[in-house]
Amino acid sequence: MNVSPQLLRLMQLASPALPVGTFAYSQGLETGADMGVRDEAAASAWIFGVMEHGLTRLDLPILARMQAAWLDDDLPRIEHWSARLLASRETAELRDEERQTGAALARLLRDLGLEDAAAWIQSPKRTFGALFSLAGARWSIGADALCAAYAFAWAENQVAAAIKLLPMGQTGGQRILSRAAQRIPDLVEEALGLEDDAVGGTAPGQVMASALHETQRTRLFRS
């Protein structure tokens, strides 16, 4: 059997069983469900809209840059891009999510033997992306595969939230993930081709939903 350790590490990193708490966040989708995202088609449009205008333009290119910086042991460059990612989270809930999941992943990676992660547990510049890219660098995962896994894990978490919030069912969720699997390779290619001055996503609907979620009366999720 010819199965690489890198593939298995990548599966571990992208697994919904990773104990970092992402399941507790909907990133504004919970408010979106109250404002018109009420079926599979609308959920699909929401998820792919954020993926294409947010992740592809912001998270993925920064993830690749941070992974390259980890490989060069360039801490100032890592901190620069992590701070840039954190500053791009426009609401308190989105920033809190980035910090909290980042701290959880830092603790996990430290406990798995990645000593570089320990200093990031309390760092004010910590982000989930910074620690995800650290794992990618230390486990010798290629940038394209790392970005694809990040994007699919994000989509999977959004689908899980949608299934809890909407009358779409597990099969509807799998249809969305099947479309994500077809779309993500092209989005990763686009993300990796961006120059530094082109990095920056915008998903105003998600941002407004996230801001409104802070005062939403009944909530299942933390964002």
pLDDT tens readout for residues 88-116: 999 999 999 999 999 999 999 999 999 99
Query: Could you give the C-alpha distances from 168 to 13, 97, 179, 203, 206, in angstroms and in order?
Result: 27, 26, 15, 24, 20
Task: Categorize the per-residue pLDDT at 130 as very low, low, confident or very high, splitting at 50, 70 and 90.
Answer: very high
Average pLDDT over residues 15-22: 94
Residue type, 104: A
Interacting residues of 90 by C-beta distance below 8 A, sequence separation 6+: 207, 210, 211
Indicate whether 160 pLDDT > 80. Answer: yes
pTM of the model: 0.96
Mean per-residue pLDDT over the chain, rounded: 95
Domains present along the chain, CATH in parentheses:
24-213 (1.10.4190.10)
Give pLDDT, residue 77. Answer: 98
Determine the length of the chain: 223
Task: Categorize the per-residue pLDDT at 64 as very low, low, confident or very high, splitting at 50, 70 and 90.
Answer: very high
Give pLDDT, residue 222. Answer: 85
Q: Pick from 91, 100, 147: which is nearest to 126 by CA? A: 100
Distance between CA atoms of residues 181 and 174, nearest Å:
10
Average pLDDT over residues 171-192: 98
Distance between CA atoms of residues 144 and 191, nearest Å:
9
Query: Could you give the C-alpha distances from 77 to 54, 151, 198, 206, in angstroms and in order?
Result: 22, 23, 17, 28
Indicate whether 1 pLDDT > 70. Answer: no
Distance between CA atoms of residues 112 and 170, nearest Å:
33
Helix H or strand E encompassing 151: helix 143-165
Distance between CA atoms of residues 26 and 210, nearest Å:
9
Check: CB of residue 15 under 8 Å from CB of residue 141: no
Give pLDDT, residue 3. Answer: 77
CB neighbourhood size of 3 (10 A): 7
Residue 97 is encoded by which pair of tokens?
């999510």
